[in-house]
Chain A
Amino acid sequence: GEDVEQSLFLSVREGDSSVINCTYTDSSSTYLYWYKQEPGAGLQLLTYIFSNMDMKQDQRLTVLLNKKDKHLSLRIADTQTGDSAIYFCAVNGGGKLIFGQGTELSVKP
Chain B
Amino acid sequence: DAGVTQSPTHLIKTRGQQVTLRCSPKSGHDTVSWYQQALGQGPQFIFQYYEEEERQRGNFPDRFSGHQFPNYSSELNVNALLLGDSALYLCASSLRFSSGNNEQFFGPGTRLTVL
**Contact indicator per residue, chain A 85-100, by CB within 8 Å of chain B (1) or not (0):** 0001010101111111
What residues on B are CB-neighbors of A88 within 8 Å?
42-43
Nearest Cβ on chain B to A34's Cβ, whole angstroms: 12
Say yes or no: A97 contacts B43, CB within 8 Å: yes
Q: Which residues of A contact B40 (CB under 8 A)?
A: 101
B42 touches A96 (CB 8 A): no
Residues of B within 8 A of A97 (CB): 33, 35, 43, 45, 92, 102, 104
A-B contact pairs, 16 of them (CB 8 A): A33-B103, A35-B106, A41-B109, A42-B107, A43-B90, A45-B106, A48-B101, A48-B103, A88-B42, A95-B56, A96-B33, A97-B43, A97-B45, A99-B43, A100-B42, A101-B42
A35 to B42, CA, bound (A): 11
Asked if B55 is at the interface (CB within 8 A of a chain A CB), the reply is yes
Residues of A within 8 A of B43 (CB): 43, 88, 97, 99
> How many A residues are at the interface, by size bracket?
20 to 34
Residues of A within 8 A of B102 (CB): 31, 92, 95-97
Residues of B within 8 A of A94 (CB): 56
Task: Give min CB distance, B83 to chain A, whole Å.
Answer: 21
The interface residues of chain A lying within 8 Å CB-to-CB of B107 are 42
- Indicate whether A7 reaches chain B with its CB closer than 8 angstroms: no
- Residues of chain B within 8 A (CB-CB) of A31 are 100-103
A51-76 CB mask vs B (1 if < 8 Å, else 0) is 00000000000000000000000000
User: 8 Å CB contacts to A: which residues of B72-112?
Assistant: 90, 92, 100-109
Q: CA A35 – CA B43 in complex, angstroms? A: 11
